[in-house]
Amino acid sequence: MRFSALKILREGLTGNRGWTPMWREPQPKPRYKVLIVGGGGHGLATAYYLAKEFGETDVAVLEKGWLGSGNIGRNTTIIRSNYLLEGNQPFYEFSLRLWEGLEQDFNYNAMVSQRGILNLFHSDPQRDAYVRRGNAMILSGADAVLLDQGELRKMCPFLDYENARFPIQGALWQPRGGSVRHDAVAWGYARGADSRGVDILQNCEVTGFRIESGTLKGVETSRGAIEADKVVVCAAGSSSRVMALAGMRLPIESHVLQAFVSEGLKPIIPGVITFGAGHFYVSQSDKGGLVFGGDIDGYNTYAQRGNLPVVQDVCEGGMAIMPMIGRARLLRMWGGVMDMSMDGSPFIDRTHIDGLYFNGGWCYGGFKATPASGFCTAHLLATDKPHPTATQFRLDRFRRGAPIDEKGAGAQANLH
Amino acid sequence: MAEITLTSIPCLGGVDLRIGAIRVLERDDLALISVAVPQEGEAAVADALRSTWDLPMPAPQRVSTAGDRSALWGAPDQVLLLGPRSTEWEGEVAAALDGKGYVTDQTHAWAILEVRGPGIQAAFERLVPLDLDPEMFPPGAAARTALEHMAAIVLRLEAERFLLLSASSTAQSFLHAVTTTLTWYEEIAPGA
Amino acid sequence: MIINHPLLGPRDASEFVYKGDVALIDRPDGMETSLDEMHDYLHLRDNPAGEHQELWYHEQGDRSWLVVTRNTLTHEITNVTLARDVARARGRSR
Amino acid sequence: MRVAGGLIDRSRTVKFQWNERWMTGHPGDTLASALLANDIRLVGRSFKYHRPRGIFSAGAEEPNALVELGKGAAREPNTRATQVELTSGLYATSQNHRGTLGWDWLALNDALAPFLSAGFYYKTFMWPKAFWERIYEPTIRAAAGLGRLSGAPDPDSYAHGVLHCDLLVIGAGPAGLAAALAGGRAGLRVVLADEDFQPGGRLNAEQFEVDGQPGATWAAETARLLAEMPRVRVMPRTIVFGVYDHGTYGALERTTGGGPRQTLWKIHAKRALLAAGATERSIAFPQNDRPGIMLAGAVRTYLNRFGVAPAGRVAVLTNNDDGLRTAADLRARGIEVAATIDTREGGAVVATRGRQGLREITLASGKRVRTECLAVSGGWSPNVHLTCHHRGRPVWRDDLAAFVPGGALPPGLSVIGAAAGTMTLAATLREAHLAASTVAEALGATQGVGDPPRASDESAAITAFWHVKGQGRAWVDLQNDVTTKDIAQSHLEGFRAVEHVKRYTTLGMATDQGKTSNVLGLAILADVAGQSIEQTGTTIFRPPYTPVAIGAFAGRARGKEFRPTRLTPSHNWAAENGADFVETGLWLRAQWFRRPGEAGWRDSVDREVRTVRSGVGICDVTTLGKIDIKGRDAAEFLDRVYANAFLKLAVGKTRYGLMLREDGFVYDDGTTARLGEHHYVMTTTTANAGLVFQNLEFARQCLWPDLDVHLVSVTDAWAQFAVAGPRSRALLSRVVDGRDLSNEAFPFMACTKCTVFGGTPARLFRISFSGELAYEIAVPTRFGDSMIRALMAAGEDLEVAPYGTEALGVLRIEKGHAAGNEINGQTTARMLGLGGMVSKKKSAIGAKLSEREEMVREDGLSLVGLRPVNRAEMLTAGAHFLAPGDPADMAHDQGWMTSVAYSPELGHSIGLGFLKRGTERMGETVRAYSPVRGEDRLVEVRSPHHIDPEGVRQRG
């Protein structure tokens, strides 16, 4: 079914009775060419691009819960390509370009909204670092604008320019950054993949891998054994657990990132704003809620919930730059489990087991990466070569001494 | 340049004020000396403290006192000596320990406030994260903690008399935190 | 979270700094260590969903490093010991 | 309208404003009860269709009566009128309408409702592509949202506090009061927290008796008893909003009187009893959203507690016995009951009329009944919210037609009373008493707990009934305008998991978090899917239980108090002497010292740099981390934590130390001085002081636990000043007592303990960051202010002048010293030209992994100096290097400019940067390309040591 305004009109006039399911609920087949473990954003996007771009439709997505129940269903929806390093920036710019055409591509309005992202800076060295970053962005074909305080004031009159502990000097602005309705991304990809023949198997948990003399043969699941030529694990948050079933240890720790949304408010915040002297970022959803977050709690966990000190830290950051939000109320807080890698950057790579591929380590940057991650993973599966924008996301990069360490924090997962 | 001599200026200018029934004053008359206990050297340090000042080694989170000198438990291998400030004391301590412990004068690393008065424990509920219930934290208890993002040592002298120690560089922020707490307490519970 | 410090009793976790897997104690010292050994020591973690032994530093307290046994699914803490004792028990000395 | 009775104080009147109209109420009223007393029925608009909305409930579950409170900067949007304590002068206005509340233009949406069904926006607004951001989205955004933020800083303050107790009782209804009483009698430390300003919970809303007294009287009496117990703390106006790990509860207290507006409490409780009661829910029937349609229990609350009848004529629709009590209570107050409709007897409401307020209902029989209020009871849902905060899942009980706490509850938390599904009073009181007794016993309390309060059990029988099917929309979520049809459509489109339905329809995602709608929605979904509620599942609740102001979470940490400010010992002196200060981490440091006649900062900085190069300058460098390291094994320890050798450093000598992370990248640098046989003092950078200390502690406790080495941070103990410039020796010779400072007696990198100005203890180091003859001298912190004044006086004839961080930066860039811009965690020793310092003879931290293949590439980056080809041009940091002629893209990126300065000595701009194969490219010209600054300059590559590359001056 193709969605359009006309379709809505017709359905509205006939009682909205003619809608059909967005995806099938198929039974698992005994064998597929490709299995994708994880029915979140990255897994569904991989399936979609495999089918659409590489013509591979003998594919199943195995999701232990309901589709989109992982981090695609619990994030703060920001898209941007404002990275510093050569290993990252072209990939995220590729992703942003895919976002820009996504809705027309999969005929679903995920509300990709490029209202801009502002990274505030508070000191001269920080400004210099943002200049370096902005230049790197432009060198990789992205957009970046350096705003001084006067220009920033025009865009955000509500920031605390007078009384801030760390004065707001200006911002690095990426006008093409923004936000997306996150659930709709999962739904749109699922619909697009399903309509091309991909089986999305919900409530289907992988419980083991069948590996014979270094070659992958298939997986065991809660819905029976399934054979496959290739299996890719896209289960960020649970990567270590799933890959441990294949006997692998990863340079990844699981951490919880809390996120917050306020009660609905009339529009007041133009785009995404990030604090440069503390842990806080915020945007305002189309419904009017302030969607915000900050740092991870900082300890290994698989519990999708955090603790109060980080809630306080995040709200302190918010009040530090925009004291008008003091009377806005925090409506909901939740936590998502992150794959925190040892350098803060992800992996899209083959493993030492023939036929087993890995996509993970997204830290808290996974949402914005969804389209490119899916595309590049599909590329790797289909061609056995990394996509040109994802050549550095290798599992052996620490062994070689080539971390992609944006923050310069070293091999300490919770500092990235 | 014999005509110039340096003067020691209190971190908080010798502040002494009253907020409601509670008094806040800077204790610039105290010295704080760290004694690190060498590996396997605890008995020797304990002997030295006892024989010189009659000070027992403090238990964790406790203070031992003899006359105007106290010993605070600092860490598993560290004791903090608190006593009257004099230029000689570091030397005295070093002499008393005679190499049995590593002595570092920490007097100037800390600003010390004495806070006392009725209702102080209730007022501190909005400042100090520790459980100050007298059963848990009786007079003679001391603990390091953080309040309002600042490292602090909280020492209970009497039921309603505390010493609060904060890094000397953040002394102004620390004082602000303390006085704001006491002012609010007064406003929320007038005369309590 | 509350960490029951073996010497100081229960303290709010916000007084502590987290480092990670207790295996970080087992640094392969010495000149003959291979690059691979050192790589694995620093980068590869078990990351279990369940009981986890991990290092915490009591920064706003007595500066002790602690080994905390905590369940990563429930956050239940079942044991807390001084890391120095654990290090010695794991054979570390000078 | 007011009727007799209630717990309000009728002897006093409170004036307040509603939509600019003055009205009156009484102490004890809420804004909602006062509005109803003033016959206000229309109070708001729904989110999507802008349907008229009236007061629906009497508590935290209120979906409709959201108002803006206060004006100006203090305006507080989305406030539930049902929870606002009426105070004198209170100013409230309705929100979320364009035009007046009565004439809201956005109610046009309601006419378009067929086209705005669940998820409509996902299927349209995609063409033309550019219209989304330019037209569709702005229009949607402008229409969405609820109340308005003022846009001005919140004028109020918020406190944080920490409480510790044995037993936290959440809710001061009958269960909570009985539990607190038993716990208090047992001698436990008890905190009793309740969101209401009046303890008693449903006892205040009902006509029950406890211990032979009216329930409300017993509640007030019990609260008074509790308040007198020294170890019990009764906290009204305090909502426990979240359960965190290990018995930590988040609670928000609305403070009365002066001081902070609210206090956010962290309550550490050994045990907790959740006595949060239950929330009534509605029944879905056609047009069930009109003002005047209320929860039956709320009608009793208004009647019995506030002495207010929502209307002169009320009909009742119920599926349970509790609802029937509403009719009885109304009759008792002389209010006409227009109809009592019991679904268990086949009764139903099939239509309603009255756009801005209910006028008439149509019964299943077709009979029309005139009524201005319809009291609806679809049964009660236990308030299980807090039991889900550790992701426990409630379980369904058919006999109650409700979810009760289930799954893994947060450790230490038990549930009592209606929150546990115990729906009758006597049973609740017994259960609460028993639960508190059990806690007391478990915690070793020895005192008796007394007898439980007595009451009789009323009937609470219920037969589940959810949905009157018929013509017209039946609302499930009143705020977000989710109807039964939306749920059915969602199912039709394949959104069948509960979470999918919630996300697709927005059911339960409004400010009330679905307190009255979730269970109803679930029941409708179960019905559509043809399965049981158990099979359908449930969503879980997340904190906070009710929304909490962001300002409360932040507490005092805002504005200048966001973080503490560290002041240097010379701060006051600097302020008196024209300093401009700059934030450096938590420190405030003098950036430069402006003198009369200096037009801009550059004048001041240039002068300060020249002073150091030609005379003598003083800079407060206290902010550098300083760690005293003592012990028999201190040398061995240092040798393992620094990449370069430290075993042979002599007493009285200082050495530059390069510290790596274990992954081989540069972590920090500084100098370490050996002041005694077993005594070293290490300096770290300002930024890394705390982290380095932490890592050193890790090394000494965890890696080498038997080394005898001890660390004390002395950053705050010493006021340290750099005294730099050719005349620095002359100045210090006047300052340091009885010591020969000649180059022979005290050469470069010497250090010593000494005294200054006739006896003040000091530490003296001959080290140089500027490249000039220079020293650092430290005195105990309290002498720092006196010291800077004394140094200035002593050096007056030498024309000594202070210099700030900006000049410090210029000096080090001229000298080619790497600092934070270069050592940013991504840098190898090799990049800094310090690769040779990393000793291969020992396995110091980071040494091994610094040898990894990609880190020792011959074509890697290295630190170079730069100057503009056109010397008149000013360089800026952050520019990327490109070979002239290469395209400007990532593939041809060759490095970047890290630091720049104007060198007064050289008379032009200079820079430092990392350049690919930089050391081999001296004299080459490259492009410094900075498109975000609109700059593209040619620069010449040279040694990073712009001045005195041989280091003659600092050794002189």
At CB < 8 Å, which residues of chain C contact B? 7-9, 11-12, 14-15, 60-64, 82, 84
**For A249, which of C20, C44, C49 is closest by C-beta distance?**
C44
Contact by Cβ (8 Å): A133, A82: yes
**Is pLDDT at B189 greater than 80 in this prediction?**
no
Give chain D positions within 8 Å (CB) of B128.
162
Are D933 and A146 an interchain contact pair (Cβ–Cβ within 8 Å)?
yes
Q: For residues D699 and D649, what is the distance between their CA atoms, to the nearest angstrom?
A: 21
What mean pLDDT do residues B166-170 have?
Answer: 98
Per-residue pLDDT, averaged over A104-118, amounts to 95
CA distance B82 to chain D (A): 15
Interface test with A, best of D562, D662, D666, D849 (most A CBs within 10 A): D562
Closest CB from B60, B76, B146 relative to C15: B146
Q: What 3-state class would DSSP assign to A67?
A: coil
Contact C88 D663 (CB under 8 A): no
Alpha helices in A156-272 (DSSP H): 182-195, 239-244
- State residue C30's pLDDT score: 87
Residues 6+ apart with CB under 8 A from D675: D651, D652, D681, D751, D752, D753, D763
Of the candidates A180, A182, A201, A193, the residue with the CA atom closest to the CA atom of residue A22:
A193
DSSP state of A275: -
Q: Beta strand pairing status for D679-684 and D751-756?
A: unpaired
pLDDT in tens, D850-877: 999 999 999 999 999 999 999 999 999 9
pLDDT of amino acid D825: 96
Helix (H, G, I), strand (E, B) or coil at D478: coil
Task: Read off the pLDDT of residues D380-413 as tens digits, 9 standing for 90 and up.
Answer: 999 999 999 998 999 999 999 999 999 889 999 9
Instruction: Read off the pLDDT of residues B61-111 as tens digits, 9 standing for 90 and up.
Output: 999 999 999 999 999 999 999 999 987 787 889 999 999 999 999 999 999
Compute the mean pLDDT over every residue in chain A, rounded to the nearest whole number: 97
Nearest CB among C1, C18, C42 relative to A414 is that of C18
Residue B133 near residue D270 (C-beta atoms within 8 A) = no
d(CA B50, CA B65): 11
Q: Which chain D residue's Cα is nearest to A145? A: D932
Tokens of B139: 């007079």
Q: How far apart are CA D270 and CA B131, in angstroms?
A: 13
Q: Tell me the C-alpha to C-alpha distance, in Å, between residue D426 and each of C81, D97, D435.
A: 48, 46, 14
Instruction: Label residue B190 by pLDDT band (50, 70, 90).
Output: low
- Residues composing chain B: 192
How far A142 CA lies from chain D's nearest CA (Å)?
11
D798, D731 Cβ separation under 8 angstroms: yes
- The residues of chain D scoring below 70 in pLDDT are none
**B192 pLDDT exceeds 60?**
no
Task: Residue count of chain D, please give it.
Answer: 956
pLDDT at residue C22 tops 50: yes
| Partners of chain B (3+ Cβ pairs below 8 A) | C, D
Inspect the interface and report whether the beta carbons of A146 and D877 lie closer than 8 Å: no
DSSP state of C79: E
Closest by CA position to D589, among listed D686, D467, D510: D686
A196 phi-psi bin (left φ>0, alpha ψ -120 to 50, beta other): alpha
Neighbors of chain C by Cβ distance (3+ pairs < 8 Å): A, B, D
Q: Does any CB of chain B come closer than 8 Å to the CB of residue D753?
A: no
Measured in degrees and rounded to the nearest 5, phi and psi for residue A279 equal -105, 100
CA A144/CA A126 separation, integer angstroms: 16
Angle at A318 between CA A317 and CA A324, to 5 degrees: 140
| Distance (Å) from the alpha carbon of C70 to chain D's nearest alpha carbon | 11
Report chain C residues whose CB lies below 8 A from the CB of A249: 44-46
* Residue D86 DSSP class: P
pLDDT, mean of residues B42-67: 96
Residues of chain D contacting C1 with CB distance shorter than 8 Å: 244-246, 248
Nearest residue of C to residue A252 by CA position? C45
Q: How confident is the model at residue A1 (pLDDT cuts 50, 70, 90)?
A: confident
For residue D405, whether the previous peptide bond is cis, meaning omega lies within 30 degrees of 0, is no
Q: Sort out which chain A residues have CB atoms less than 8 A from C13's CB and list them.
A: 299, 307, 309
Q: Which residues of B touch C7 (CB under 8 A)?
A: 60-61, 76
Cis peptide before D128 (omega within 30 of 0): yes
Reference D825, options A137, A253, A397, A406; nearest CA is A406
**Per-residue pLDDT, A305:** 93
User: CA-nearest residue of chain B to D707?
Assistant: B39
In this complex, do D694 and C87 lie within 8 Å of one another by their Cβ atoms? no
State which amino acid sits at residue D611. T
What pLDDT shows up at residue B106? Answer: 96
Measured between alpha carbons, how far is D217 from D7 in angstroms, rounded to an integer?
10
Q: What is the pLDDT of residue D130?
A: 85
Q: Are strands D413-415 and D262-274 parallel, antiparallel or unpaired?
A: parallel
Measure the CA–CA gap between D490 and A191, rounded to whole angstroms. 15
Contact residues on chain D for B87, CB-CB shorter than 8 A: 761
Q: Pairing state of beta strands B16-19 and D413-415?
A: unpaired
Tell me what pLDDT residue D538 has. Answer: 87
Q: Give yes or no for D792 touching B (CB within 8 A).
A: no
Burial class (CB in 10 A: 0-12, 13-18, 19+), D253: buried
> Residue D64 is which amino acid?
N
More confident residue, D470 or A415: A415
Element (H, E) at C88: helix C83-89
The first and second tokens of residue D817, run together, are 């010293």
Name the region of D818 (left: φ>0; alpha: ψ -120 to 50; beta: rest). Answer: beta
Q: Has this prediction a pTM greater than 0.90?
A: yes
Retrieve residue D701's tokens: 């406790």
Query: Which residues, other chains included, contact A67 with Cβ-Cβ below 8 Å and sequence gap of 6+?
Result: A23, A39, A40, A44, A61, A186, A190, A200, A202
Nearest CA among D584, D619, D630, D626 for reference residue D715: D626
Separation in Å, CA of A97 to nearest CA in chain D: 14
B34 touches chain D (CB under 8 A): yes
